[in-house]
A and B are shown apart, each in its own frame.
Chain A
Amino acid sequence: MLQVKEQLTCDVLIIGGGIAGLMAAVGAAEKGASVIVAEKADTRRSGSGATGNDHFLCYLPEYHGDNKKEIIQEMEESQIGGCCDPELFELFADLSGDQVREWHSWGIDMKPRGDWEFTGHAKPGRPRIFLKYAGHNQKAVLTREAKKRNVRILNHHLLNQILLNDEGQVAGAVCLDVTEDIPSVQIIACRSLIMCTGNTTRLYLPKTAGWMFNTANCPACTGVGRASAYRIGARLINLDMPHTHAGPKYFNRCGKATWIGVYKSMDGKPVGPFVKKPTRELGDITGDIWMEMFEMRRKAGEPVFMDCTETSPEDLEYMMWGLSNEGNTSTLDYMKEEGIDLRRHMIEFQQFEPILVGRGIEVDKKCASNVPGLYAAGEETGNFRGDIGGSATFGRLAGTCAAEYALKNRSQASPELKKLPVVQESLDFYEQLFTRADGTGHPGWKEANVALGQIMNDYAGLEVRSENMFKAGLIYLRRLREKTRNILACTNSHDFMRCLEVLDLMEVGELVMLCGRERRECRGKHVRVDFPFTNPLNNNKFLQIQKVSGEPVLTWRNKR
């Protein structure tokens, strides 16, 4: 039996110490709440913002002027749009400027060239919405700011279950301490919990066979927030709408944001409608908002390249500086070692596998879910997406609101969580994972992850979606999940963590399939070969999924 450590107690428990989680910690602590952050790795370098970023979505009145509406429209029509509630855009626009100024005061340089500068990800003739900043130190700074406010950070602690009290309110969580070779169980009692577990990688597999962790976003973010929230009755939203990134083909970590060039065919023809000549002001937004282009060109027999050979020397230097701030130093090191010279070489780009960024837990204007005491922020949320800017701004807001809720409920006695049936079941299951691993041929997590990924790629992927593909995929995935739960095994903390990750991913995968099947139309990257029409009756609607009496229930609601 795994060792169960003494129960910890706090007002606000935050799961995930990425950008949203650390900002939530700051927000909650400033309200006077006692705060614990449970982080799977180490907050100094965890999550998709681990090594930096260089573009921060925001509305800054002193730069943009009073035309907030136009800026919001531009956000909706950028790569982050499509699944956001207008009321959250409005709120984000109102709060994001303060967040920029606060980060700058903490030592994350938000005007590294002396003044506010908005460049890249832009359409010609339209306002620019991404602030260029030097975020290479963002995780170290945010960790320091959280600690300054007496936030307790538990590194190498992952979440497995959220716990409810008899009234159905959040009462705590089961976390696993994976610091040592054999994990121990850490139960944490809390009055509110903020889910900040980021993206969902390794649900679909990248094209590089055998290299599941070769992903643009952090491959340790594997859907525990969505899965555990769903299990306690939280509504998830927009899982039916796939999203993808694009970037250098096969070297998926690179990302594409900061490149200053033009997407071109091999013979030098621009493939997108926006730019013919490279400029730092615009970049080439084709790869942000029309990623299908890569596959369309490939099927026409044409690889697509990022061509920086006509970029001015000043813009090229600016781009390399941006890549470094964005945390893409491994790309820069690699290009140097390999002798890649962007003045004469162009690099092939591709569309990456789908991820659930901004698809997940539904929140209101207080970042609260429908479950009392459960909040969410960052890429975890299903009805808003703002990347780093969104994670920072709504992370802080979630912290404030979750703390207010917790402090109001402080008089409530915290139950002895270890005795809850779900805790006992979980402990039994952990035990099984370890005792099965006795050399009798039980599979490990890798087999399970590959098996899941291939089903997702083929039956809920980008290429073909249809009623019967979802139907078959659901049968295969449910069978796989059941089998996996019964035979999966591990021998140490690392593999134990991966086992739990894969099981969460399987649960999320099933929900993706149920939602995809329900959306019987084409919309964005959700391409139903059996329903080729985009139904205008759905233009204002999002699809939700929630567990009711043990069964998934799908509902549509209007955008708000």
Chain B
Amino acid sequence: MPPVINKEKCVGCGTCAQICPVDVIKFNKSLGMPEIRYPEECWHCNSCVLDCRQGAIRLRIPLPAQLLYVDVKSVRGE
């Protein structure tokens, strides 16, 4: 689930649902809260994180999109 909303911090302003470039977040009118309805369509652009005034959203980068990194010294046997 790429964007994760902290429900304690969210005030239900709906900005994240409005600005998501790929329509991942929808505003649930009956709950008065945004919800991550299409998590697998996340672009990992961070717009929701950047625009949330409450700091209530973080991105969890899904496992298939992990960065592949190595420790230089250990792979070169130094």
Q: Do A348 and B22 form a contact, CB below 8 Å, given A50-B45, A51-B50, A330-B45?
A: no
Decide yes or no whether B54 CB sits under 8 A from chain A: no
Partner pick for A494 among B23, B58, B66, B70, CB 8 A cutoff: B23
Q: Do A213 and B46 form a contact, CB below 8 Å, given A340-B69, A345-B71?
A: no
The answer to whether B68 touches A249 (Cβ under 8 A) is yes
Q: Do A211 and B50 form a contact, CB below 8 Å, given A50-B21, A340-B69, A347-B69?
A: no
B60-71 Cβ-contact flags toward A at 8 Å (1 or 0) = 011011111111
The answer to whether B69 touches A211 (Cβ under 8 A) is no
Q: Do A214 and B64 form a contact, CB below 8 Å, given A46-B21, A219-B43?
A: yes
Decide yes or no whether A11 CB sits under 8 A from chain B: no
Q: Closest A-chain residue to B44, C-beta based?
A: A253
Kindly list chain B residues whose C-beta atoms are within 8 Å of the C-beta of A344: 71-73
The answer to whether B20 touches A494 (Cβ under 8 A) is no
**CB of B70, distance to nearest CB on chain A (Å):** 6
With the chains together, A209 CA to B64 CA distance in Å?
8
Kindly list chain B residues whose C-beta atoms are within 8 Å of the C-beta of A212: 41
Q: Do A210 and B64 form a contact, CB below 8 Å, given A46-B21, A155-B18?
A: yes
Partner pick for B18 among A42, A220, A338, CB 8 A cutoff: A42
Partner pick for B47 among A45, A309, A338, CB 8 A cutoff: A45
A74-108 Cβ-contact flags toward B at 8 Å (1 or 0) = 00000000000000000000000000000000000
User: Which residues of chain A in 179-217 are interfacial with respect to chain B, using CB atoms and an 8 Å cutoff?
Assistant: 208-215
**CB of B28, distance to nearest CB on chain A (Å):** 11
Kindly list chain B residues whose C-beta atoms are within 8 Å of the C-beta of A472: none
Q: Do A211 and B43 form a contact, CB below 8 Å, given A155-B18, A307-B72, A497-B23?
A: no
The answer to whether A338 touches B59 (Cβ under 8 A) is no
Q: Do A345 and B70 form a contact, CB below 8 Å, given A42-B18, A213-B40, A219-B22?
A: yes
Decide yes or no whether B19 CB sits under 8 A from chain A: yes
Partner pick for A211 among B18, B62, B67, CB 8 A cutoff: B62
Decide yes or no whether A334 CB sits under 8 A from chain B: yes
With the chains together, A50 CA to B72 CA distance in Å?
34
With the chains together, A428 CA to B70 CA distance in Å?
55
Chain A, interface SS category: loop
Q: Do A51 and B46 form a contact, CB below 8 Å, given A213-B40, A213-B41, A344-B73?
A: yes
With the chains together, A42 CA to B24 CA distance in Å?
13
The answer to whether A345 touches B69 (Cβ under 8 A) is yes
User: Which residues of chain A in 211-258 are interfacial with respect to chain B, using CB atoms and an 8 Å cutoff?
Assistant: 211-215, 218-220, 248-254
Q: Closest B-chain residue to A41, C-beta based?
A: B21
Q: How many A-B residue pairs have CB under 8 A?
A: 133
Decide yes or no whether B49 CB sits under 8 A from chain A: yes
Decide yes or no whether A152 CB sits under 8 A from chain B: no
With the chains together, A266 CA to B74 CA distance in Å?
11
User: Which residues of chain B in 5-47 are interfacial with respect to chain A, using CB atoms and an 8 Å cutoff?
Assistant: 18-23, 26, 37-38, 40-47
Q: Closest A-chain residue to B20, C-beta based?
A: A41
Q: Do A51 and B71 form a contact, CB below 8 Å, given A268-B76, A333-B59?
A: no
With the chains together, A45 CA to B24 CA distance in Å?
13
Q: Closest A-chain residue to B38, C-beta based?
A: A494
The answer to whether B67 touches A253 (Cβ under 8 A) is no
Partner pick for B67 among A208, A210, A220, A250, CB 8 A cutoff: A250
The answer to whether A210 touches B22 (Cβ under 8 A) is no
The answer to whether B46 touches A329 (Cβ under 8 A) is yes
Decide yes or no whether A475 CB sits under 8 A from chain B: no
Partner pick for B20 among A45, A47, A178, A348, CB 8 A cutoff: A45
With the chains together, A446 CA to B8 CA distance in Å?
33
Kindly list chain B residues whose C-beta atoms are within 8 Å of the C-beta of A346: 69-70, 72
Decide yes or no whether A438 CB sits under 8 A from chain B: no
Partner pick for A330 among B40, B61, B66, B75, CB 8 A cutoff: B61
Kindly list chain B residues whose C-beta atoms are within 8 Å of the C-beta of A219: 22, 41, 43
Kindly list chain B residues whose C-beta atoms are within 8 Å of the C-beta of A334: 59, 61, 67
The answer to whether B47 touches A214 (Cβ under 8 A) is no
With the chains together, A329 CA to B49 CA distance in Å?
9
With the chains together, A209 CA to B26 CA distance in Å?
25
Kindly list chain A residues whose C-beta atoms are within 8 Å of the C-beta of B65: 208, 211, 214, 250-253
The answer to whether B46 touches A41 (Cβ under 8 A) is no
Q: Closest B-chain residue to A216, C-beta based?
A: B43
The answer to whether B68 touches A348 (Cβ under 8 A) is yes
Partner pick for A50 among B47, B68, B69, CB 8 A cutoff: B47
The answer to whether A250 touches B68 (Cβ under 8 A) is yes
**CB of A115, distance to nearest CB on chain B (Å):** 28
With the chains together, A344 CA to B69 CA distance in Å?
10
Decide yes or no whether A44 CB sits under 8 A from chain B: yes
Partner pick for B40 among A210, A218, A250, A335, CB 8 A cutoff: A210
With the chains together, A369 CA to B40 CA distance in Å?
37
Q: Do A218 and B43 form a contact, CB below 8 Å, given A209-B64, A347-B68?
A: yes
Top 9 closest pairs, chain A to chain B, by CB = A330-B46, A45-B47, A348-B68, A45-B19, A253-B44, A208-B64, A345-B69, A41-B21, A213-B41
Q: Interface on B for A, CB 8 Å cutoff?
A: 18-23, 26, 37-38, 40-47, 49-51, 58-59, 61-62, 64-73, 75-76
List 30 contacting pairs A-B, 8 Å CB cutoff, sorted by A.
A41-B19, A41-B23, A42-B19, A44-B51, A45-B20, A50-B45, A51-B50, A208-B64, A211-B40, A213-B43, A214-B44, A214-B62, A214-B64, A215-B43, A219-B22, A248-B67, A251-B67, A253-B44, A253-B65, A254-B67, A266-B70, A327-B46, A330-B45, A330-B46, A330-B59, A333-B59, A344-B71, A345-B72, A494-B37, A497-B23
